Amino acid sequence: MSNRGQYYKQKYGNKRQRQASYQPQRGTSIRTPRDLAEHLSQLNHKPYGAYQDLLGHHYTFRDFTLVFEKVQKDPFATASQIRVLIQDQVAKFPSDYYFTTDRRTALSDYLTRQLVKQIHALKMDQQFQSQSWHDVKGGNFEMTHPGQQILERNSIIICDGTIEARFTFNLPARGRTIVAQRAIEVLTKQLPVIITRALKFTSHDPQDLQAHIQCYEDQQWLRRELPSQNLIAFVPDGAILPRASGISDQPLTSGNVVPFASPDTLKIKFMCPSGMQITGMGIRPGVTMIAGGGYHGKSTLLESLEQGIYNHIPGDGREFLVCDPTLCKVRSEDGRSIEGIDISVYIDNLPFDMNTKSFSTQDASGSTSMAASIQELVEVGSKVLVYDEDTCATNFMIRDQRMQRIIKKENEPITPLIYKIRSLYEEMGVSSILVIGGCGDYIDVSDTIIEMRSYVPRNITQYAKEIASQYPNDLRQEGGESYGNVAQRTLDIPAYTKGKVIARGGTTIVFDKQEELPLATVTSLIEQGQTRWIGSAIKYLCQKSLTKQNTLKNTLEQLDRMMERDPKISEDSNSSSSSSVQMLESPMDFIEPEYIHGEYVRPTLFQVAQAINRLRGIRVIN
């Protein structure tokens, strides 16, 4: 073999054998950026697995501490997880910005956005553009990009003014060989600049930061104030509800943008904690019907109400639009699985004596899926359900006078929602908001009727009732004397959920590399981090057998209480130093304590319930 051939074989050849034979050397605590640079230099041109030497050490920079939580074993694997800790005396955020849970959440969200912004500004979110195997790859940071909502995340954790940031770093390589100089440049020079610009108080405009926190705080207050005002939703005057496009959550800014304006008969006024006075449309408990012509804003209003369980950033257009936090959407889901749910309230007397008091199927129809969804959500405590006629099964929504006469009740298993919606509210305390464009019979069961005309709401309750009285429907009541039963179930989660969990695209969870849980119909899920947490939570519940010990509702309420805890200081178990490192622990970390990362976003307990109920293979054990 030529000298040139020997050179390339030594440098790039026989990779598997070299990777397998490499044993990381651990135990030395590297304490300075200079030590880190020297150590990386020693790893230069070694097999990629040598990066594992970075584990078990903490690197103390002037303003922060860097810890590698997980180091990728291959340049094509998931990026390495890093944690950056900046002490309160360095960050210097006044306690006014984080002394309550609401303010801490808002500050964490703000700093996450700033960190993403600074990483992008320095082009540190871009990998080297490689043209061949031998070009340098990696050398970039990655962090979850927040959307229009201010959510609880574990990407930034704040405890008594100390801040921990969690994100990923693709350790650079040429092929599967370490490129130390790029790693040194990014970690010892670029990272300190990013941290200073993003996580130190002196780098921010106090007015901008205060506005972000106040916006969140006022929205939280408004939502908590709804029950005392006998409301389930509030839409502020001046809100911009339309979005830029079907694939963008940004507000519409061009064309005919119509700010929301409440009808006088539904107008409510609030004085927020910040001193801001706000007016808008209040929606009261009961049954609310949203009517109007096509393309006049009915579904846009309903979609905005569905998002009212979240707080939005300043300038989104939907800030201060708030709803009851238990609000959930019900829609038709052909093909979903259902397990052991009592749908006899809506569906009974099926052919072949099928049991609808504990109904199970692997291939639900539109009507059975809607019946199951309502019962599942009421089971775990939802007090507001919303429906859009466009995504509902027609035979579940209505059976008109002619069909009642053609198909006798004893031959029709389905009791449509229209016959149960009043008792659902009056007996179970569950309000309904419906977009109705073609079924006027709902006028008779509605408390409030809102017409959307060119995106402007009008209270037409009295007018619509008068029209309905002139054209009575003469429907035969099929709903019975009471609403019926809602069972509290204890569930056994299938064992396959103990396997590896992957959140794919924010709408699918994959368990054990093969079992898929589609969640595209749970439209309130807005960030992949929520789906990721739900997948990990299901795995946690299965491993601990928690759902076997209590009802689903009580189990999920226990999970929710655990997420209500404050962040705390914990010892870094990966540190090999004789003096352990104090890092921070997020209340979301408990479901996966062996793998700390910053990719979780808190979902609602109702979203977790919706996911569990759609698992194939769950079993009712009571």
Lowest-confidence region among 292-296, 338-342, 567-571 = 567-571
Q: What is the mean pLDDT of residues 22-28?
A: 46
Confidence of residue 19 (pLDDT cuts 50, 70, 90): very low
Average pLDDT, the chain: 92
Q: How far apart are CA 283 and CA 555, in angstroms?
A: 31
**Is pLDDT larger for residue 2 or for residue 508?**
508
Among 610, 590, 458, 574, residue whose Cα is nearest residue 537 = 590
Asked if residue 457 lies in contact with residue 301, where contact means CB atoms within 8 angstroms, the answer is yes
Model confidence at 573, in pLDDT bands (50, 70, 90)?
low
- Report the pLDDT value the prediction gives residue 133, as an integer from 0 to 100: 59
State both tokens at 327.
């609000």
C-alpha–C-alpha distance, residues 379 and 553, integer Å: 7
Q: CA 401 to CA 347: how far, in whole Å?
A: 19
Percentage of the chain lying above the pLDDT 90 cut: 83
Residues 497-552 have pLDDT tens digits of: 999 999 998 899 999 999 999 999 999 999 999 999 999 999 999 999 999 999 99
* Of 135-139, 203-207, 240-244, minimum mean pLDDT range: 135-139
Is the pLDDT confidence value at 391 over 50? yes
150: helix, coil or strand? strand
pLDDT exceeds cutoff 50 at 28: no
Express each pLDDT in 226-285 by its tens digit. 999 999 999 999 999 999 999 999 999 988 899 999 999 999 999 999 999 999 999 999
Q: DSSP per residue over 80-112, as a string?
A: EEEEEEE-HHHH---GGGTSSHHHHHHHHHHHH
Give the distance from CA 28 to its chain's centroid.
Answer: 40
> pLDDT digits over 79-99, tens only?
999 999 999 999 999 999 999
User: Looking at residues 54-66, what average pLDDT do you find?
Assistant: 94
The answer to whether 306 and 388 are in contact (CB under 8 A) is no
Phi, psi (rounded to 5 degrees) for 416:
-60, 155
Task: Quickly tell me which residue has 């107008």 as its tokens.
Answer: 267
Give the whole-number percent of the chain exceeding pLDDT 70.
Answer: 92
Q: Comparing C-alpha atoms, which of 256, 285, 287 is closest to residue 436?
A: 287
List of residues 6+ apart from 593 with CB closer than 8 A: none
Q: What are phi and psi of 272, to 5 degrees?
A: -75, 160
Q: If you ran DSSP here, which 8-state letter would residue 189 be given? A: I
The structure tokens listed for 17 are 């054998």
Q: DSSP states of 440-506 as a string?
A: GGGGGG-SEEEEEETTEEEE-HHHHHHHHHHS---PPP-S-SS--------EE--GGGGS-EEEETT
Please give the average per-residue pLDDT across 28-46, as a whole number: 88
In the predicted structure, residue 426 carries a pLDDT above the cut 50: yes
Question: What is the reported pTM?
Answer: 0.92
